[in-house]
Amino acid sequence: MSIFGKIKDAIFGKAQAAEPAAPAAPSPIGSALDAATSAMAAAAAAPTPISDVDVDATLSAEAAKAGQALNWRTSIVDLMKLLDIDSSLANRKELAQELGYTGELDGSAEMNIWLHKAVMRELAANGGKVPADLTD
């Protein structure tokens, strides 16, 4: 799987996991009320469409639980650490190539800033809700 694919899956999967659990299955009595309850439970249990994933809220919630200060809003390294993805230079080089970076693959501030913005733009292009200040 691509590095970006891992990032996307980590964010969108965490957002879906945060959805409330489906109510318990109705009793096997078979009444009309049980059938209606079952239909409502099925509708409530439907997965969140990717376009409904609030990337900022999902990552902010994860950062609050992280136990360490991670500046995911500006740092690609901290974003990857927050998602438990290897943030090594080798992985960032691979991510840069996946996303079409044309500069030096040297781990410079320029490369890392570009990567962060590119990841946020790709998340938005794949249906996530990303604030404009994270994509500019």
Residue 38 maps to a domain: no
Within-domain flag for 77 = yes
Question: Rounded CA gap, 126 and 74, in Å?
Answer: 20
Q: Give the count of domains, the chain.
A: 1
Residue at 39 is within a domain: no
Domain-embedded: residue 114: yes
Where in the sequence is the domain holding 81, given as residue range(s)?
Answer: 3-19+50-134
**Tens of each residue's pLDDT in the chain, 136 residues:** 899 999 999 999 876 665 554 444 444 545 555 554 454 444 444 444 445 799 999 999 999 999 899 999 999 999 999 999 999 999 999 999 999 999 999 999 999 999 999 999 999 999 999 999 999 8
**Residue 44 CA neighbour count, 13 Å, CB half:** 12
Is residue 36 assigned to a domain?
Answer: no
DSSP annotation of 84 = T
